[in-house]
Structure 1
Amino acid sequence: MGRLLRIFLIGLVISFLGSLPFGTLNMTAFHIAGFQNVSEAILFALAVVFVELVVVRITLTYSKKIDLGNKVFFYLLPIAIALLMYLSVSSFTSLNDDQVIQAESNLFPMLRSSILLGLLLSILNPMHIPFWTAWNSVLIARNRLDHKPGMYTSYITGIGMGSIGGLMIFVFAGKYIFQNYHEYSYFIAFMMGCLYLGFAFYLLFQLYKNHLKLIIQ
């Protein structure tokens, strides 16, 4: 029982801390909570975490059998870039003349479902696989994680709770900031557009550097 609790806490801490740095997933949860509502943001977060847990399970089972890194990156990056560009354009076009965005507005008109948006962004997040593959390897090497009954379940449960906890910080921060500093909604939407655009260009650079450049040469 002691080992199960320990691996649960390890998974919780890793995922919680990993969800705190600004990125497309947590800032989108922030965005939805502020400009739509908390319920939609929670549905988005649950969809994100569901995909993350599936990815963790796949990396635990198949990371040594298939090349999860380069193959997945090659196919996911172009789709991820296109989606991020769409989110960027949607954020910029949501800026209206009076520089105030109304609550309950749909910032992503082509993706009306927060669950669908969460699934897509999480599936297309190129950071999931290398992040969890690396941590799994470290924990296995240090004999913190093994195949004994209950270990994977405790580990994955901790990861799920940690990720939800981290995302909830952004959800309630987004709601609080929008309710109390509504005049900054224009600036927040603009910054979100810049975040999506910047990450899209970063992924485009990674695609060129790690894949297209080798093909061209």
Structure 2
Amino acid sequence: MQNLKNIAVGFLVSFIGSIPLGYLNVVGFQVYEKTGLFPTALYLLGVIIIEFFVIYFTLIFANKLAANKRLTKYIEGFSIVFMFVLAYVFYSSANAKSDFSTSFNYAPFLLGIVLSCLNFIQIPFWTGWNLYLLNGNYIEVSKSRKYFYVFGTITGTFCGMLVLILSLHYFASNVDFLSKYLMQIIIPLVFVGLGILQTIKFYRKYYR
């Protein structure tokens, strides 16, 4: 029963956490639009392989990572810069009529691995969630039970990202406004907005 609870809690947290629009989802949407479902599944598999190790090690070292304020500050600062860089990359790619997902000579699986490795913000994200779930006794991670929790999380990420990708495809295919402006204007503005929001939070957290 505890193993099933670990899977369910991990799945729920990860599914909800993967729904908000991020660059991994946007690139996954581009992969789906360009190549279809199977390459998209390979891309997502690459993403969750890296996430597996991130979640596992943040689960094991959650207390030490949470206590390392300097590392957290650097990661959060990098994520702010990364948001603005992504806004520029997606804007320039859309206006140049090129596809970010095919700008690299990687197979979808390797593309997922590379981009997931650059997603440093997942370290404080999972450190915080793992501490919360452990301290609240929502999960139990002794012996092999930790693997059931991690399995639930990566399954939730895969399903959550796939749902968002398919939803983006549906709306982009059926709403003329989204079809015309999604990649060219809306996505870059989303990343600019996220960058500004994270900058405000960063300032309040470290300089007020």
TM range (shorter): 0.7 to 0.9
Change (3 A) 1:17 1:56: same
Larger radius of gyration: 1
Change (3 A) 1:38 1:196: farther
- Greater CA deviation, 12-21 or 115-124? 115-124
Change (3 A) 1:192 1:157: same
AA of the residue aligned to 1:79: F
Q: Distance in 1 between matches of 2:77 and 2:138?
A: 36
Contact 1:85 1:197 in 2 (8 A): yes
**Does 2:40 align with 1:77?**
no
- The partner residue of 2:100 within 91, 94, 107 is 107
Q: Distance in 1 between matches of 2:198 and 2:188?
A: 16
Change (3 A) 1:156 1:72: same
Q: Distance in 2 between matches of 1:81 and 1:195?
A: 13
Q: Distance in 1 between matches of 2:89 and 2:33?
A: 16
- For residue 64 of structure 1, give the secondary structure of its aligned residue in structure 2: helix
Q: Distance in 1 between matches of 2:180 and 2:45?
A: 27
- Tell me which protein shows more helix as a share of its residues: 2
After TM superposition, give the deviation of residue 131 of structure 1 in Å.
3.6
After TM superposition, give the deviation of residue 81 of structure 1 in Å.
3.3
Partner of 1:14 in structure 2?
13
Q: Mind listing any 5+ residue stretches in structure 2 that lack a counterpart?
A: none
Partner of 2:149 in structure 1?
155
> What does 1:77-96 correspond to in 2, within 5 Å?
77-96=76-95
Q: Distance in 1 between matches of 2:104 and 2:68?
A: 28
1:76-101 per-residue CA deviation (whole Å, 9 max, x = no partner) reads 2343334332321232223449xxx6
- Greater CA deviation, 42-51 or 193-202? 42-51
TM-score normalised over the length of structure 2: 0.76
After TM superposition, give the deviation of residue 5 of structure 1 in Å.
1.7
After TM superposition, give the deviation of residue 172 of structure 1 in Å.
1.9
- Give aligned pairs, total: 205
Change (3 A) 1:173 1:164: same
State the superposition RMSD in angstroms: 3.2
- The partner residue of 2:163 within 166, 169, 174 is 169
After TM superposition, give the deviation of residue 58 of structure 1 in Å.
1.6
After TM superposition, give the deviation of residue 18 of structure 1 in Å.
2.1
> What does 1:1-217 correspond to in 2, within 5 Å?
2-34=1-33, 37-67=36-66, 70-96=69-95, 105-107=98-100, 111-113=104-106, 115-116=110-111, 119-120=114-115, 123-126=118-121, 128-181=122-175, 184-189=178-183, 190-211=185-206, 213=207
Change (3 A) 1:158 1:52: same
Contact 2:6 2:140 in 1 (8 A): no
Q: Distance in 2 between matches of 1:183 and 1:137?
A: 42
- For residue 64 of structure 2, give the secondary structure of its aligned residue in structure 1: coil
Q: Distance in 2 between matches of 1:148 and 1:203?
A: 35
Q: Distance in 2 between matches of 1:85 and 1:36?
A: 27
After TM superposition, give the deviation of residue 145 of structure 1 in Å.
2.8
Contact 2:25 2:164 in 1 (8 A): yes
**Percent identical residues:** 22
After TM superposition, give the deviation of residue 56 of structure 1 in Å.
1.6
1:86-132 per-residue CA deviation (whole Å, 9 max, x = no partner) reads 321232223449xxx6xxx4236754545446643564342x33443
Q: Distance in 2 between matches of 1:112 and 1:79?
A: 25
